[in-house]
Chains A and B, each alone.
Chain A
């Protein structure tokens, strides 16, 4: 057999390989290009409205005076509270399902349900939140009700991500720990959680990014769209959030509001990038400690 492509070789294999590589590269560039166009469009549209005053102002009937402050603060509150609720519940559930629950039919049913819940449209959670948190628990249209509703939206994502990263911890680590006379709690706390932490954090950040961008469930629970104060009491005050504010502005007939909305999108994107950057930094620090 010669190493050059002789008559006995597979002449199309090389071509197919090259075509496939081209296809993959093309797909990547298509995504990047579309994203760039979108970004360019939004930034150029909203650039003139962006200013420190815009960020530091309350909404207004006049587009040129409208600001995003309450929505920005509301969104930060929302993701903070959502993280507070969803991380312990989500990670706890994942630990139970992976480390404690007997592998029986009951566990399979729960598992399938969680996977399905991850695909349920968020408006459905919004309606549930309206009935459960706003009405039954009488939390009204508060930050609390919003955060709990968003917790429902992101919980399946957090659980699945945490389960995935717990499963990725080599079973040899578990065995070594148990063989040294560690209890299940000690094994989970001292070995599995630290090893799974980077993966869990990635999942949590992804989930929070989703929570940050959700408008539908907030619409469903009736969150306000025109708020002229900052929320001080998280269970009583009304609130609004970035996606909701953007959505309302784009719905206005005046062109000025569309520009303000574009500026809002830029603010939303910046917050997202900050969260993701934080995730990368934390991940890096944790995996550096490990090596």
Chain B
């Protein structure tokens, strides 16, 4: 599909964003403080450049969806925001990622501290092979919380937030691996919430789940944005349209268009965006 797609239209990679999108985005988010801002972000795996000159504002207490075909760089971009890419050998980052105005790629950054503030939920649910309780308590524990009562409270709060409490409250000491796929993913969300992050990054959190679990996760995202700033990567157009306030379309490492979700989906400025959204390629 993507091959025919890329021959269908000439690649027009504008480095400057379309005016309307920037404007309407600004209008939409007026008075909305920018939680995360990237400035001219380039990313390289060895000599292969995966991201080109990405400048994107992520407003606080909103859901930002990153969409685009496989390999377009949206996951790479997401992992730049909490420096999870650091774990890969031979990467190179240029440009800035500002969290509350402070560049996280500045040399003195404490990556451990950063990841407590910017939590992450992965595509495939990856609970630790431990009890449900220990999964959620791991974040606070590594942060130095020892008191049992504090941990208990934290675990309950996070499991309630992730809408899992009612299902697991009587078996907190059972292995997390006994939960269903959807429950495991909600557990991973609870686990991420337990470090009290400010930003929550979600890398296709529902792609491996059945429709019912997906609906539960989407509802959850809707509830969580009151407290957290959420960035979600998704392959599912309907999902992006349902859960997000702002949508950014990536293609081959470039940020093609960004704007309020309803505008991106009803009236995209770029032909590439329209083609992708209407399912003509990708």
Q: Smallest CB-CB separation from B84: which chain A residue?
A: A179
Among candidates B84, B175, B192, residue contacting A178 with C-beta atoms closer than 8 Å = B84
Stretch at the interface among A6-14, A77-85, A168-176, A207-215: A168-176
- Asked if B126 CB lies within 8 Å of chain A CBs, one says yes
A186 at the binding interface (Cβ < 8 Å): yes
C-alpha spacing A212/B113, complex, angstroms: 48
Given A102-B89, A291-B175, CB of A181 within 8 Å of CB of B142: yes
1/0 per position for B57-90, CB-CB distance to A under 8 A? 0000000000000000000000000101001010
The answer on a CB contact under 8 Å between A179 and B115 is: yes
Asked if B120 is at the interface of the complex by the 8 Å CB criterion, the answer is yes
Indicate if the CB atoms of A191 and B128 lie closer than 8 Å: yes
Chain B window 74-118, contacts with chain A (Cβ cutoff 8 Å), 1 for yes, 0 for no: 000000001010010100000000000000000000001111100
Neighbour of B142 across the interface among A102, A175, A180, CB < 8 A = A180
Shortest CB distance A221–B (Å): 43
Asked if A176 meets B112 with Cβ closer than 8 Å, knowing A181-B142, A183-B142, A291-B175, the reply is no
A105 within 8 A of B: no
C-alpha gap A174/B86 in the complex (Å): 13
Residue B138 lies at the interface, judged by CB distance under 8 Å to chain A: yes
Distance of A178 from chain B, by nearest CB (Å):
7
1/0 per residue, CB under 8 A from A, across B155-186: the answer is: 00000000000000000000101100000000
Is there contact, CB below 8 Å, between B191 and A180?
yes
Q: Which residues of B contact A111 (CB under 8 A)?
A: none
CA distance A103 to B138 in the complex (A): 29
Q: Does B195 contact A (CB under 8 A)?
A: yes
| A175–B138 CB distance below 8 A | no
Looking at the complex, which one of A173, A178, A186, A291 makes contact with B128 (CB distance below 8 Å)?
A173
Does B18 count as interface, using CB distance less than 8 angstroms?
no
Q: In the complex, what distance in Å separates the CA atom of A175 from the CA atom of B113?
A: 15
Count A/B pairs, Cβ under 8 Å: 71
Q: How far is the CB of A230 from chain B (nearest CB, A)?
A: 44
Q: Interface size on A (CB < 8 Å)?
A: 22
Q: Is the beta-carbon distance between B139 and A180 smaller than 8 angstroms?
A: yes
Q: How many of B's residues come within 8 Å of A, CB to CB?
A: 31
A175 and B84 within 8 A (CB): yes
Query: Which residue of chain B has the shortest Cβ distance to A171 in the bound complex?
Result: B87
Contacting pair A180 B126 (CB below 8 A): no
Is B265 part of the binding interface, using a Cβ–Cβ cutoff of 8 Å?
A: no
Nearest to B117 among chain A residues (CB) is A181
CB pair B112 A182 closer than 8 Å:
yes
Q: Are A175 and B87 in contact (CB under 8 A)?
A: yes
Minimal beta-carbon separation of B192 from chain A (angstroms)? 7
Q: Are B138 and A190 in contact, CB atoms less than 8 angstroms apart?
A: yes
> CB-nearest residue of chain A relative to B188?
A176
For residue A179, which residues in chain B have a CB less than 8 angstroms away from its CB?
82, 84, 115, 119-120, 122, 192
Q: Is B143 an interface residue when CB atoms closer than 8 A count as contact?
A: yes
Find out whether the CB atom of A103 lies under 8 angstroms from the CB atom of B89. yes
Considering the complex, which residues of chain A in the window 255-290 have a beta carbon less than 8 Å from any beta carbon of chain B?
Answer: 290
Given A102-B89, A173-B128; A180-B122 close (CB under 8 Å) = no
A161 within 8 A of B: no
Add 5 more A-B contacts to A180-B119, A195-B129, A291-B178 (CB < 8 A).
Answer: A176-B122, A176-B191, A179-B192, A180-B116, A190-B138
Q: What 5 A-B pairs come out closest when comparing CB atoms?
A: A181-B116, A172-B126, A179-B120, A182-B142, A180-B139
The 19 sampled A-B contact pairs (Cβ below 8 Å) are A172-B122, A175-B126, A176-B126, A176-B128, A176-B188, A178-B87, A178-B115, A180-B115, A180-B119, A180-B139, A180-B192, A181-B112, A181-B115, A181-B142, A181-B143, A190-B141, A190-B142, A195-B129, A290-B175
List the interface of chain A (C-beta within 8 A of B): 102-103, 170, 172-183, 186, 190-191, 194-195, 290-291
